[in-house]
Structure 1
């Protein structure tokens, strides 16, 4: 009995030490996009070499649940990235249960959102982190952003506005802030699309990773173009070629 009490006390202290690492995400109205498969042409820079390939995103939402599967590959290197996220929809929006990530030449990792224990655990992390509500993962956050944008509409989701989220990755949780930069017409295999470009700049001095997302209001606010920037020599850009509603 005393051993169990001691273990419980230690766990409580661990969670308390991490509790201040991040605040709960803000609650906003959300309107998840309809289920769809999105195909993209891919252009990547890998260690100074240009590569072409394809990316696929399978988004499913409905009945209080969601699932998103993301794959990007090139003929030369094969699969570059694979992300999977699944969970429910609650008062904060998308509520991940599990996030799987596999990057080229790196071991796969799994991040688990244990809502019964109010903790987030990481394959690469040493300690669990307190689950405070509204946290996203690196696959779900794009769709949470689209869901928030659909609910807000262009009157509020406009250039100059900023939208903050809390995002769990391979080993920790961090705040991500997206800024709506501008309205932009982009050329795609589907023709010219009107979009809003949203960017998340690197956090911290000396960090260079970031992401740019082009959401198309006329296409259910789907992400029709994405650019991932790991550093000056590592980028993946994907532009939509086809959207198939499910």
Structure 2
């Protein structure tokens, strides 16, 4: 559907929220979109002790290709990332003709260690919800699956990408090629520890333009593991410029950055 012309959006992301470990006590980041320049979106200088640098609020659009049950498809997607320094919301929506849409959302708090997920929702043909009870260290599932223990730093399947971005943004020099990162990652039926390895820098030519990125891949430990490839871009506040997810049966989704604007 044609979109009426309008003044170009302000593409300057909000400033990065600087999170430092407490030194007791301390008080508690479908029209064509313009791309944000690396200078505008990159992290602000941080104190040496910073553990995470939360990306500034942004709305990223993606061009998507994929395959499901041997059927190729093309789609559009959007990642909304918004926070006020205390609470955050992340929402990923993918829509494809004939396949319908799928929406994942994560809500929670921002802590000195990064994101603390409180509720994760995954909705396509039906909606599944995960509630994070941090006091009892349990994740509870709406489909009746047994609750699972939560480990320190646990993330859901959407917040995990922003948590990785926040860690690398704070001290990128601490993550040279070969570095491994492990995060407990909770889906709608259970939890697993996702192990990522830093593969190194790559420059990508994407629908929205060229982006310098740092590529991470999930280390697969079981035949039925989801293969996760992630390209984080300093020019997007370290949010993903590209995400490729591949199922064990070969089905995949590959989303590539097309543009950015303020939420």
Structure-1-length-normalised TM-score? 0.81
Contact 2:204 2:210 (8 Å CA) reproduced: yes
1:118 is displaced (CA, Å) by: 3.0
Contact 1:228 1:237 (8 Å CA) reproduced: yes
What does residue 256 of structure 2 align with? 239
Q: Specify the SS of the correspondent of 1:218.
A: helix
Contact 1:224 1:239 (8 Å CA) reproduced: yes
User: Pairwise mapping of residues 133-212 of structure 1 onto structure 2 (< 5 A)?
Assistant: 133-153=152-172, 155-204=173-222, 206-212=223-229
Q: Specify the SS of the correspondent of 2:54.
A: coil
Quickly say closer, same or farther: Cα 1:218–1:63, change in 2 above 3 A.
closer
What does residue 39 of structure 1 align with? 61
Contact 2:106 2:121 (8 Å CA) reproduced: yes
Where does structure 1 lack aligned partners over 5 or more consecutive residues? 1-27
Cα root mean square deviation, aligned: 1.7
Matched, 1:215 2:241: no
Quickly say closer, same or farther: Cα 1:76–1:241, change in 2 above 3 A.
same
Contact 2:89 2:107 (8 Å CA) reproduced: yes
Whole-angstrom CA distance in 2 between matches of 1:42 and 1:48: 16
Quickly say closer, same or farther: Cα 1:118–1:208, change in 2 above 3 A.
closer
Encode CA deviations 1:189-224: one digit per residue, 9 max, x unaligned. 2221111111113331x2242111111123311201
Contact 2:59 2:81 (8 Å CA) reproduced: yes
Matched, 1:84 2:102: no
1:229 is displaced (CA, Å) by: 0.8
Structure with higher strand content: 1
Encode CA deviations 1:110-148: one digit per residue, 9 max, x unaligned. 110123433211123532223343110001000000001
